[in-house]
Structure 1
């Protein structure tokens, strides 16, 4: 479209906006035209002059209205202090109510009597009604209203002292994520208005304020429209507008719906994120956000703590799709609601797939993998622990920092293998299923050299352990041993690695594999004994890790502590291990101490590690997920002995993970678990149940709803305990049965953890008076005799209950 035609359309839109504001004050004309190009402003003024012959009323106002209209010194209970602003629909002044007890400042919007006709009166009264109707923390609320001494109409509303949303964010150099969080507050406010059958119609930077304490406030419903046809007779479709931010249907003077607000909201988001307006003129096609961002000035990017290229990368993909959908020309092709738009923004922040990209090949799977790939970094926190905080995986501990690029290259190759169209993967699979599929894919792909397949399997297996993909790692172990034999010479450190990883996979499955695990580890240790120190230290960490898992499965607390202390000692003495590896080894001791109830020592160890964490991060690349893991473990330790401190610590960890969109990770699971335990110990069982259910949701996001990992057993057990405390015995039974079913897959019948869950389940069943279901759970006398005194007493009570029922005629 030519520039002249575009300017004609813009001038016509501005002219019609001024007509809707009759009677027109000279300052109104200047306000409307101040940001227009000179040619456009001249065209508007010519149209106004030609209009004089058709309406003497317009001529009178245009030429004779006072430049600075007066207003009363007092309206209702408020003294008028000074003007705040002026627009086509009257003016806004600062009002103050002074009493002996308090002072209240308000923003008063008023329209002078000389400006009022029937149409203006109806519109102003409707606006006042709208503000009174909307009660939301992110909408400036009505305080009072009435008629002035000279015929003015007025209403007083909350005085929003702050800055516009965009300026607030720019002055604080807020990055993209923080800007989106504020935008979500605006979405909530606008959704409330829509639920109240109100369309704002003027969402623009000047109408979205942020207070000094960071509260978003939507203001100025001066051209709002009701969706209730009976109440909308005061408004016309060709209402005033701000052309730069008007939706396409507003510019075309078509029917206005909530879709118009969605377009304006997206236009505001575009400018908030990129620093330039979405529309350059009324005829322009809106450019893809990431492409536009790549061309912005460096100074604009600095206010977002990034560079143009980095900002473009952040926007590419999900944000591009979200904003493009909301900014479509056809209202029917936009989001159905502001809530749907907000849901996609929240999904982006949380690392979940967004609806705007549904239908793209493998999009959901790519999104899940991208989110979780570095969820806890190379060091996974107790990813397959079978009792609370037991064994800390020291995966990748043997990898020095110079090998990090190899891991990245392997990940990229793995993605290409999995995302091939004929790979058989499902976009809906969870991460556990993803890694199992990956193992099968690599095992079948004989086109890759054996050494490369070995590297792929090693990478996938380690990440599979992180997310508790037990089936995946069990399949990988034997294949790694076979490929290592084909690819590397006898005595190579990868021969030892393959044997150890196979032993690890078997140890994770349970103590029944102890013989085979010990045989494999003996073979590995024979190779490690001949390796140079720079290779041997990392391999010994893997050996200790496998022995830790085996000790845990067997319920051997002494071995658990012994091997975790070996790990920690190796971390202190080795000169070849990376900082990441040393951190992992020390964490294995922390969790072993916690598991064996040596909580005070565990807390001292984690506090020491937290103090050393900045130094580790300075000397080596410690991933943020790993640092989160250490801090989260600290909150868990405190939840056992320092409840008040833990409540604050774990609440902060949960809040930070939610804000960062990483709550659906293993770190999120552990932070919520610590929060739940702290709440439970504070006699806040109902809140603890909520925390445990959220922890379960985080775990399901990683492992799937049917996961049989130790974490799932653990959260189910803790959930059952709190439900029992709330006397919700049937729900407790369901959770405890699930926990028992899981641990029975790996723990022997006499394992302390398994016996503890069985006792709690039996008590939940007994509380429901289901004696027939209780009987099969009772333990033999010789098993009960080996328990502590308190547990023996509880079992004897249950035995007596069943025996009594048998004797009753």
Structure 2
């Protein structure tokens, strides 16, 4: 099998299985015999045949081995001592060599290394030269982010070996699956460029930079591995290298590398460009070229394939500087790329710092826009004046229009989906809508969420939240809790358990437990949510306000009134400043009023009631359940101040409105009637109180499931009525 055929086979096997046959037929259209040989091997690989178990590198090794005997199957060398090192276990296998985890065995000191050996039977002159060249390269490289040479020698069979630093971490492609934010991706990439720049200063070109050869260490820095096909730019024998260089991973190889042309530091710069492209889009650059899309701009690749949406960054973040940086690094002509890996790192770091990048034309307008980004406050007035004068207006308006259109499309899709269910949550059209429109759709709609919106986790979370609120408001506690738990599971699957985007799902589940008086699970959920917010430094978010709010409600239930008022006050302050038009602000005001000892500070309570009423009517108007709840809070304040007649009047007006929204047998309706009976007793209207008690208690018992927590309160009212009868009809003082 020729070296060209081996190269084609390797490139084919890197493709998804469904694309391999078409690739081979396209590349071998003019050579039927070659096409037949390669298709046979592709079929064997798909069927799990052992022929290719060693990988295409094994075929490459055979081609280099010349007259060397075929390599026998790998022998487990665990426990064997080579030089001062004892082999612990196998780490990796290549075409010509094996890599083992080994530890120092001579007692001189404790150390763990990655030990590389030549496979038995592979010790031809060509293989030995390649092995010695890799060892020589590593000996030149002493960098904390390179798996550098530690030791070397020959084993008992007179085969060379060498020991390298053992690097712990995860390959770059696995690290990318965590969907890190843009700045972390770029910081890691710039650090990788600096490592390559160091190697280039030692006159070493790597030639096989790919995600599998970059390990992200625990501290977040990259470490570069595998200089097996690297070369020294000066004094390196060309024999063999011109052939070996063609077997770098085709997905990341430069055009001149695949064509067998001259190798330089620009070859590694191109590979870095493919890494940058993949870090920004989640897509292989070479895959886009195979699909007929020759763009070098990451923003054009976002959404062009089936890659996970969580990995790709929004196209709006990539347009401009990052597109330009990637395009320059990926230029086909080596002379048009960055002059070195350090210059590529410089441009990425300029972008992170808000400075102009060299990959873009250095025009006055461009430099001015970067200055504005770095000096936002100082430039505000000047920028407004310049915009008024029209300087740069055309470019700015075009970019703004495109961004606005994208945002409007996303918002319209979310609003359309949420609107299917939102009537049941707001419930402005009355109780009938629950039976006629929403409840009938809930179960079927919830079952479709996981599959139909798997690619839009943020939109799916919005719908989950709405469904949970509808179920919870209508006392379908088991269904609401199950959906809240399902939402958390789906968020963790989409974003990862340690991602801050999981926090809304944690707070939603905590809120469901609170609404159902299941306090025990709430602290752990809120602690986990707070830890994620702390790690992301998102302390002015909506979810931060909800965490304070739920902690306040829990403290109020446990009798810690001062703590409850303080926590709920913090939530209200944050919502008032950052989310003034949100329903969350209205609910937080309601809960603060419920926890506040109103009689001790009636002016504060009255101010909060006024604020709540204004917020409700500004957003929802007067025909909304929140407006009735404001009336209830005002009635409670008036009762606390001894103004019972005014309190009773408000409650009597509010009861029919609450029945309109929730139905006659809803918990909140019974609670208002309960409150009205208490007001009548305080007014010494004993006969009216008893008549109302008999009416409401009969209704309550007929619908016991609606308000089980009020049963004890109704018994207490009965005892109070009987006590007043015994005292001659006077309310206790």
Q: Give the TM-score range, shorter chain.
A: 0.3 to 0.5
State the TM-score, normalized to the length of structure 2. Answer: 0.46
State the TM-score, normalized to the length of structure 1. Answer: 0.41
